[in-house]
Amino acid sequence: MKKNPMFFLRRHSGYFMYFLFGFFFIAVIQYFGSCNKSSNPVDNTLPPSSVDVTKINDGAKTAENAFITGDPQQVTNILTEDSKTLYKDDLGKISKEVLIAIGNAMKTRKLDTYSEQYAEFSFQKDGETFTVAFARQADDSWKLMRF
């Protein structure tokens, strides 16, 4: 007596249905849960209107001037409190010439992105692009948080 080849599917169809359901479920989640390459989830074309860009630029100019002095203490004065903790051991090891070179390179800075609490500039030095980040303080000034 020959067995019907469909006997196996009829006998185990419950498992096969779970497999198909799982496969379909994963495909639906993948389709609806992912962004395509052409979509931009962040619209950074319109900067926030409530941000005073002049104050951001003033903070960057103050940082530039502090670096141009070549004095690590002047650079420390323009850092945020968290950055002072982060850079306290290394800032004194940076030579005066390097600090001045960073300050001169910051003259070519370009404001890349900003929000109400954060701003980031980029600049060129020796053919490489560097970024510096500023944070808004409680007194509405902008201080250097990363360089």
User: Mind listing the pLDDT tens digit for each residue in 27-74?
Assistant: 888 888 776 655 555 555 555 567 889 999 999 999 999 999 999 999
Q: Where are the alpha helices (DSSP H) in 34-115?
A: 53-69, 72-77, 81-91, 96-105
pLDDT at 65: 96
Domain boundaries, the chain: 53-146
**Tens digits of residue pLDDT in 75-101:** 999 999 999 999 888 888 999 999 999
Q: Indicate the fold that domain 53-146 takes in CATH.
A: Nuclear Transport Factor 2; Chain: A, (3.10.450)
How far is the C-alpha of 74 from the C-alpha of 86, rounded, in Å? 16
